[in-house]
Structure 1
Amino acid sequence: MQYKPVLYMLVSAISFAFMNALVKHLTNFSVYQVVFFRSIGTLVFTSVFIAKNNISFLGNNKKLLIARAFLGVVSITCFFESLKYLPVGTSVSLRYTSPIFAAIFALFLLKEKIKLIQWLLFLLAFLGVLIIKQFGGGLHEIGLLLIIISAITLGFIFVLIRKMGSTENPLVIINYFMLFAFIFGGIMSVSNWQNPTSNELILLLSLGVLGYIGQYYMTKAFQANETNIIAPLKYLEVIVVIIIGAAWFNEIYNVWSLLGVLLIISSLSFNIYVKSKKQK
């Protein structure tokens, strides 16, 4: 395997991991204010590139773009809010169950078939969730509900993006999402706005920058090598974020928690391999 795609994916994983850790660190702010600032940095980058390359801001499939943006706001809001109740590594791991929901939605909406081995892999991933829930030191019920909602909506987002196919520029899809997040976060945070200090403002604004870097290098990695080789590497984020959680927030992950995370990562990584083979 070429080393550059792996390096790109590592940069992406580190960027997303630090972004999530910063969200955890900034839990003194309302989730709406965090969503608002998360959108600013990325929105600036996407808007500039769209304008520079003379791409239509409105896109082609406006209804699907709006639906994707709305669900994206729901997913990211629930995810950020869950970080107030769950260890950051656990929250990220559980959100990565979204491919299970994506496959189920695709089965009914896109008529995509699911092999028996994929169902078995999904069952293993779900077993990992149960292990974390029952033996991982106890999970806050509200946090668990929030992260499951985030994973379900993210799974539906994958289906919407697949339905749009190549008819939409990725920058337009991201721009819609960030614009909705900017408007939603701004409006919802008006009533309980908290003025950040200079240092907090830098951290809040860096959320969008880190999010954009993560998205950019993940895209470069997928462009540089085959999906079935690169896609499993996105789970590096889970490893990085668990290390950050333990070092920064003194989060403790017992053997059962790590076993559950391992089951989720390994089964869904192998599912990517199986799915890519099916498409050839």
Structure 2
Amino acid sequence: MPPLSSSIRPHRPLTAIGLRLVAVICLSMMFVTVRLADARGVHVVESLFYRQALALPVVFAWIMATTGVRSIRTRRIGVHATRMAIGMTGMVLNFLSYILLLPAEAVTIGFTMPIFGTILSALILREATGIHRWSAVLVGFLGVIVMVRPDAGHFPAIGVAVALSAAFVTASVSLVLRELGRTENAGVIVFWFTFLSLPPLGAAMLFYGQGHDAMTWALLLLIGVTGGIAQICMTAALRWAPVSVVLPMDYSSIIWTTLLGWAIWGNWPMATTWIGAALIIASGLYIAWREHVRGAASAT
């Protein structure tokens, strides 16, 4: 089923914003829970497996209640497999970034994804990228430098490298999603990503799976459920409003992750983290605004 054209989509911006906020809060909870599970001896492969396995019933139930089971049929299984491979790589790196860095630091570096997206669009898709967006890219990377302060040595270099790699790979996924979105419903994309990831993760579980106590199982359950709800809400939000309306809500994740990090571990970001976050967020929002302007201009 092709996605609805923007001209016939219902427009309920407050509903879309609410759904996106729920998605962002769930993602913040998921990533913080991954860090908690790691502290209890859970291997990252286990977190990934239960994230996908427990999210699949949630995603499938949502599809059954909306577009129906027939909607998951696809003729582009190869592209879905490519999206899965790149997406799982990004998920591994994202999980590791929250293990290696404090939550507020990991989420802030993750905000560089639109910056890498702009670079990849220019280099791979040959999209015209003017001085405005290149300036935003430079401001974003300046924000990373201000936040990390390489000379100070207070951030683990491996953690920063993993977080930046996660943002780069996630930006790469967006290019594949752009291609898939031309013919595939958003629910179909979510389903096949989750479903196709289970065989390789299941094979890996033969080596890394282990028993846990009740509290650790509860954390793994929370990872899967919050991940599934987040995917559904992010997809549903785009049914009620365009990306330009809901995207700013993603940046609220720094609030939720900071509050969770403070409540659980007593960590509060340094002043340079807030300054760097402001620069990175401003860069991402400006890039999104320029995309909106270009889209509106091409439609007229």
Partner of 1:238: 254
Amino acid at match of 2:240: A
Amino acid at match of 1:126: F
Amino acid at match of 2:98: L
User: How far does residue 276 in structure 1 lie from its aligned partner after superposition?
Assistant: 0.5
User: How far does residue 175 in structure 1 lie from its aligned partner after superposition?
Assistant: 2.2
How big is each residue's C-alpha offset from its partner over 1:156-210, in whole Å with a ceiling of 9 and x where there is no partner? Answer: 1000110122311222222222234323333223223221222321221221211
Take 1:114 and 1:100, find their aligned partners in 2: how far apart are those partners? 12
Amino acid at match of 1:255: A
Judge conservation of contact 1:36–1:183 (CA < 8 Å) in 2: no
Judge conservation of contact 1:88–1:245 (CA < 8 Å) in 2: yes
CA separation of 1:228 and 1:57: change in aligned 2, threshold 3 A: closer
Partner of 1:219: 235
Partner of 2:181: 165
1:24 to 14, 35, 54: 35
Amino acid at match of 1:110: L
Take 2:105 and 2:78, find their aligned partners in 1: how far apart are those partners? 34
User: Are residues 1:12 and 2:15 paired?
Assistant: no
Partner of 2:169: 153
1:43 to 40, 56, 79: 56
Judge conservation of contact 1:121–1:271 (CA < 8 Å) in 2: yes
**TM-score calculated relative to the size of structure 1:** 0.91
Take 2:81 and 2:252, find their aligned partners in 1: how far apart are those partners? 30
Gap regions ≥5 residues in structure 1:
none
1:121 to 136, 144, 155: 136
Residues 254-265 of structure 1 aligned to structure 2 (within 5 Å)? 254-265=270-281
User: How far does residue 58 in structure 1 lie from its aligned partner after superposition?
Assistant: 5.4
Take 1:264 and 1:122, find their aligned partners in 2: how far apart are those partners? 9
Q: Percent identity?
A: 23
CA separation of 1:82 and 1:226: change in aligned 2, threshold 3 A: closer
User: How far does residue 63 in structure 1 lie from its aligned partner after superposition?
Assistant: 2.2
**TM-score calculated relative to the size of structure 2:** 0.86
Judge conservation of contact 1:93–1:238 (CA < 8 Å) in 2: yes
Gap regions ≥5 residues in structure 2:
1-11
Partner of 2:6: none
Take 1:177 and 1:216, find their aligned partners in 2: how far apart are those partners? 13
